[in-house]
Amino acid sequence: MSRPAFPALPPGFRFGAATAAYQIEGAHDEDGRGPSIWDTFSHTPGRTLGGATGDTATDHYHRYREDVALLSGLGVDTYRFSIAWSRLLPEGTGPVNAKGLDFYDRLIDELLAAGIAPAVTLYHWDLPQPLEDRGGWRVRDTAEAFAAYATLAAERYGDRVQRWITLNEPYCSAFVGYAEGRHAPGAQEGRGALAAAHHLLVGHGLAVRALRAAGARDVGITLNLDRVHAASDRPDDRAAHRRAETLHNDIWAEPLFAGRYPAYEAETWACLADGPWRGRDDLTVIGAPLDFVGLNYYRPICVTAAPHREPDPEQRTAVDIGVAEVDPYGTRHTTMGWPVVPSALTELLGRLHARYPRLPPIWITENGSAEADTLTSDGQVHDPDRTHYLADHLRAVADAIDSGVDVRGYYLWSLLDNFEWARGYDQRFGLVHVDYDTRTRTPKDSYHWYRDLIVAHRART
């Protein structure tokens, strides 16, 4: 397979790479770090593939210098990483852990010395366990605690961090964590998940306020909004499509960018739509103006109507919206089982742009593919499928920009192979291969391609 041509992005377009704390850091009980819901979840038998945990992960906590050198070799403008809340505040609130603060000081300074702009995600799914024990995102106190943590981080790092992302993919926190139970905390609740979705949004809004009060300038949120297709034009499929749009997209985008709750929430969640967790001023808090919105995109979804489970008026067991996913795309799949459909990214960007006049500039904050990588006898990793995936998706971004969508930059997921949540270490998303016996890092072919793309972009623009 040949090397794909470099997609042409406009002058000023920025290139980056992304990671998240629990997926790479390891050192789970070192230097005063407190446990998070992901420590508890991954240590519970049966929750992750093969019982994998993030206890050591890629050992980035000890090897961060080597990882910054890899970023530097890649030539990226910016690096997106997340702070582990329970390193700074082991209890989630209260006493501050000085050694935890120091770690991110060292990382940020190392990045700046390499000329790489730090972009911090405050919450990439690792809620301090003591907060979960008091109700987690089901309760409003967690949103308040999140804002206090945001203040601490911004006061400490605000002079050096260029870009702040409050939450990563609140969809996954709320629905994969509290409804499906495939992610921490592993709950299967209807009410709890919808309350969590709301409190995540409130927490985001309060954190935006806190960040701005501490002087942060480039503030946004990362969402995994989806391009949802309907399996057919049949009325039941169209209704299923509306419900899926509500669950995946409208629940986040409407309050954030249009100042309202989703139009079809009543038909999607029946009696739970207008839950008692909503406060009178919440839409104002949630809708605080943002400097950018981060989008994570991997694949589209296509839905068809499915029978609802026996209706439980309280939906106490799990969120069931009467929808099944189908895969009509007929394309290659990554090892995650995800269809590769770059055009859906162009569609998604265009639709958001058309629908929300108040949409801030967009950053792609994650995009990448998991492939069956192997270290070959020449000591290399030849991963042409990943390189093609990246080229095709960057071209899809360029197409959206050409049609008028304001996309400022792209963070590739991920710098390193890492702990892929419930899928453990089997899914390799990295530009850099990690040997989990020795933690040796080996740049893959895609790493060299991305580096050359960045060089070519700078030379051309």
Provide the binding-site residues for ligand FCB, judged by CB under 6 A: 20, 23, 168-169, 172, 224, 296, 366, 413, 420-421, 429
DSSP string across 49-112: GGG--SSSTT-HHHHHHHHHHHHHHHT-SEEEEE--HHHH-TTSSSS--HHHHHHHHHHHHHHH
Which C-beta is closer to ligand FCB: that of 56 or that of 317? 56
Tokens of 18: 């992304």
Choose the catalytic residue: 254, 366, 371, 420: 366
User: Encoding tokens for residue 73?
Assistant: 């070799």
CA–CA separation, 339 and 343 (whole Å): 12
Structure token digits, residue 265: 């929430």
Of the two residues 157 and 421, which places its CB atom closer to ligand FCB in the complex? 421
CA 25, chain centre distance (Å) = 17
* Residue 110 annotated in active site: no
Report phi then psi at 415, rounded to 5. -60, -50
Query: What SS3 class is residue 30?
Result: coil
Q: Least CB distance from residue 87 to ligand FCB, whole Å?
A: 17
The b-or-e profile of 373-408 (16+ CB within 10 A means b, else e) is beeeeeeebbbebbbbbbbbbbbbbbbbbeeebebb
Alpha-carbon gap, residue 60 to 73, rounded angstroms? 17
Closer by beta carbon to ligand FCB, 120 or else 258: 120
As measured in angstroms, the least distance from the Cβ of 248 to ligand FCB is 12
Residues 6+ apart with CB under 8 A from 178: 136, 137, 138, 185, 187, 188, 189, 192, 193, 196
Q: To the nearest whole angstrom, how small is the minimum distance from the Cβ of residue 156 to ligand FCB?
A: 24
Q: In whole angstroms, what is the distance from residue 318 CA to residue 32 CA?
A: 36
Provide the token pair at 441.
Answer: 């890092």
In the chain, what are the helix, strand and coil shares in percent, each to the nearest 5? 40, 15, 40
Residue that the structure tokens 């789970």 belong to: 28
Nearer to ligand FCB (CB atom), residue 20 or residue 453 = 20
| Least distance between ligand FCB and beta carbon 152 (Å) | 23
Contacts of 80 (CB under 8 A, 6+ apart): 16, 17, 18, 19, 119, 120, 121, 163, 165, 365, 411
Does an H or E element contain 408, and which? strand 407-413
Q: Which is nearer to ligand FCB, 250 or 366 (CB)?
A: 366
Is residue 111 within 8 A of residue 68, CB to CB? The reply is yes
Instruction: Provide, rounded to whole angstroms, the least separation between the CB of residue 22 and ligand FCB.
Output: 9
Give buried/exposed letters for 443-461 (b at 16+ CB in 10 A, else e): bbbbbbbbbebbeebeeee
CB nearer ligand FCB, residue 53 or residue 168? 168
Residue of 169, 265, 371, 420 marked catalytic: 169
Q: Which is nearer to ligand FCB, 23 or 387 (CB)?
A: 23
Q: How far is the CB of 278 from ligand FCB (least distance, A)?
A: 27
25 catalytic residue (yes or no): no
Could you give the CA distance from residue 193 to residue 396 in angstroms, rounded to a whole number? 33
Least CB distance to ligand FCB at residue 429 (A): 6
Please list, in sequence order, all residues whose beta carbon lies within 8 angstroms of the beta carbon of residue 422, skipping any fewer than 6 positions away.
47, 48, 49, 182, 183
Q: Which is nearer to ligand FCB, 132 or 226 (CB)?
A: 226
Instruction: Classify strands 432-434 and 441-443 as parallel, antiparallel or unpaired.
Output: antiparallel
Contact (CB, 8 A) for 415 and 430? yes
Nearest-approach distance from CB 365 to ligand FCB, in angstroms? 9
Nearer to ligand FCB, 101 or 172 (CB): 172
Determine the 3-state secondary structure of 365 from DSSP.
Answer: strand
Q: Which residues are catalytically annotated? A: 169, 366
